[in-house]
Amino acid sequence: MPLITKLKGSAFLAFEEKQDWLVDELCTCFGADRAELVFYGDLVYWQDAPAQEIKPFWCSTVYFEPFTVEFQSVSEAANALKQIQRNWAPYQFTLFRRAALIQEKLPYINLKPRNFPYSVPQTEIGAWTLIDEHTLFASAKTSSFLPCGRIEFVEDHENPPSRAYLKIQEALVHFQAFFGDFPQKGQHCFEAGACPGGWTYVLVQLGCSVFAVDRSPLTENLMKNPSVKFLAHDAFTLKCDEIEPVDWVLSDVICYPERLLEWVKMWLARPRVPNMICTIKMQGETNWETIKAFAALPDSKVIHLNYNKHELTWLHKGSR
């Protein structure tokens, strides 16, 4: 019989290559002592994590109610998880073949890249990690309905002008999950810092018209697209009344977070506010004060996307 042991605290799965930032966040924002943290690859276990549920930005999913299972065989490990619930996603950093054999014996879940558009499922999913040949670390309760909290898309290597298209696709999927809105055919979008056009490309594919502003032009096919109006200008110096009414405002501009926050507040001061998606790009050290200011804005979410780099994404449900 497998031995199941409930553990205190929580475990936090860092986004790929983001573990250092996650550890800094746990220590700086939540009071963790690095010496107390236990590392299983990118999974960070904190025994003394706060009793209330926390979801750091740099972590893709949280193991809220962790436990270990000590087992003798692959079947025994899989059966122990199946008796708890149906859906389990694997995060592995070692013993990959043995872990794959366990996952094969669990009920099927789709771990393949998704086609865009995509809707986030609303079914609970646990996460598990093999930490040695006879022990797994798991939690039936996690912070995401996505397997290990991550979306990967089937990539188009030919048509989009840049890989930034993946970032706006992911942001839109999360926007719909949080707020229920998704760009509709015939809607109007204003995009700041649009060059070379990765975000514009996605919006046009969805049937939107785009007013794209940047100092540099978009790719030639987008410049000729009748759904795109381009202006060579510093987007942040345009006033709201210089822009036609829009349904969505988007920004992937490289700037200091403080400047982005000032620009965002200009839009929020309007009587009717469009939906907004903006990338908060870190300039050196993580600016926690400004990030918290974004998170405190009403009807907003700040998240880290699987396709983000050293940046976060701010989502705002408008009042159009």
Average pLDDT over residues 152-168: 96
**Residue in the structure block whose two tokens are 């759904």:** 227
Distances (CA, A) of 241 to 104, 214, 245: 57, 18, 8
- Let me know if 27 is exposed, middle or buried by CB neighbors in 10 A (0-12, 13-18, 19+): middle
| Cis peptide upstream of residue 117 (ω within 30 degrees of 0) | yes
Assess whether pLDDT exceeds 80 at residue 67.
yes
Amino acid identity, position 267? W
Answer yes or no: are the C-beta atoms of 40 and 130 closer than 8 Å: no
Report, as an integer, the average pLDDT of 160-181: 97
Structure tokens at 25: 């966040």
d(CA 186, CA 174): 21
Quote the pTM value: 0.95
What would the pLDDT profile of 133-144 be if each residue is shown by its tens digit? Answer: 999 999 999 999
Q: What are phi and psi of 289, to 5 degrees?
A: -60, -45
State how far Cα 83 lies from the chain centre. 30
Q: How far apart are CA 128 and CA 140, in angstroms?
A: 8
Query: Can you read off the two tokens belonging to residue 9?
Result: 């605290």
What is the reported pLDDT for 48? 96
**Does residue 51 register a pLDDT over 90?**
no
DSSP state of 300: E
Q: Residue 18: which residues within 8 A CB-CB, separation 6 or more?
A: 58, 304
Q: Which of 4-18, 95-109, 237-251 is predicted with the least confidence, judged by mean pLDDT?
A: 237-251
Q: For the residues 265-286, what does the mean pLDDT come to?
A: 92
Q: Is the pLDDT of residue 303 over 90?
A: yes
Cis peptide bond upstream of 226, omega within 30: no
Please say if the pLDDT value at position 283 is more than 90: no
318 pLDDT band, cuts 50/70/90, is very high
Residue given tokens 């200011």 in the structure block: 293
pLDDT more than 90, % of the chain: 92
Instruction: Work out the pLDDT band at 201, boundaries 50, 70, 90.
Output: very high
Query: Which residues make Cβ contacts (< 8 Å) with residue 226, sequence separation at least 6?
Result: none
Binning pLDDT at 50, 70 and 90, where does residue 32 land? very high
What is the chain's mean pLDDT, rounded?
96
- pLDDT of 133 reads 97
pLDDT score of 30 = 96
Residue 320 has pLDDT above 80, yes or no: no
Helices and strands: H and E segment counts in the chain: 8, 16
